[in-house]
């Protein structure tokens, strides 16, 4: 494989191909989220997403956007393909400089390793949780900007 070490850009997209994206740089964090919104939006027990700096992400196509209010009052914008319904990204008003891409939409998601589990209190008994990861009942008070 010809894999240049300098070219760390990754691509992904929706199921039907109308939405594509490209991202450079490394994720700020990769997390499993078991919250109820993620259960409904994914149709599964949890979602898994990689958070990047929004400046590192380029989206091609016109995703639909759905806005919901999180428990803490933040506005969460979910981006999805209007044609095939794939969940592509999430943005949170509490962290405007970041965008979280659904891990399963990457062309190759095998190189990511989830680091935390959040909203574990909402986990359903039929869903699996990675017991080796740090786990938070809800969303930790953690700011990707100021990791000192
Ligand atoms: Zn699509
Ligand atoms: Zn969630």
Q: In this structure, which ligand is nearest to the CA of 87?
A: 1
pLDDT confidence of 8, banded at 50, 70, 90? confident
Contact 26, 122 (CB under 8 A): no
Cα–ligand 2 centroid distance for 90 (angstroms): 10
Distance 86 CA to ligand 1 centre (A): 6
What tens digit of pLDDT does each residue of 70-98 get? Answer: 878 899 999 999 999 999 999 999 999 99
Distance 40 CA to ligand 1 centre (A): 18
In our burial notation (b when 16+ CB lie closer than 10 A, e otherwise), range 18-57 reads: bbbbebeeebbbbbbbbbebbbebbeebbbbbbbbbeebb
Q: Supply 52's token pair.
A: 């990047």
pLDDT in tens, 43-72: 999 999 999 999 999 999 999 999 999 878
CA 32 to ligand 2 center in whole angstroms: 8
How far is Cα 9 from Cα 39, in angstroms, rounded to an integer? 29
pTM of the model: 0.89
């Amino acid at each position: 494989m010809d894999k240049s070490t300098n070219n760390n850009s990754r691509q992904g997209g929706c199921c039907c191909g109308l939405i594509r994206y490209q991202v450079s740089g490394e994720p700020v964090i990769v997390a499993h989220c078991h919250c109820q919104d993620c259960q409904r939006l994914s149709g599964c027990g949890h979602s898994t997403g990689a958070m990047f700096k929004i400046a590192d992400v380029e989206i091609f196509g016109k995703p639909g956007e759905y806005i919901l209010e999180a428990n803490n009052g933040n506005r969460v914008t979910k981006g999805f393909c209007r044609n095939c319904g794939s969940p592509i990204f999430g943005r949170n008003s509490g962290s405007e400089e970041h965008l979280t891409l659904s891990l399963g939409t990457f062309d190759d998601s095998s190189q990511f390793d989830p680091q935390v589990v959040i909203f574990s209190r909402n986990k359903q008994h039929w869903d699996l949780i990675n017991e080796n990861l740090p786990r938070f009942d809800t969303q930790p008070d953690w700011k990707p900007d100021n990791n000192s």
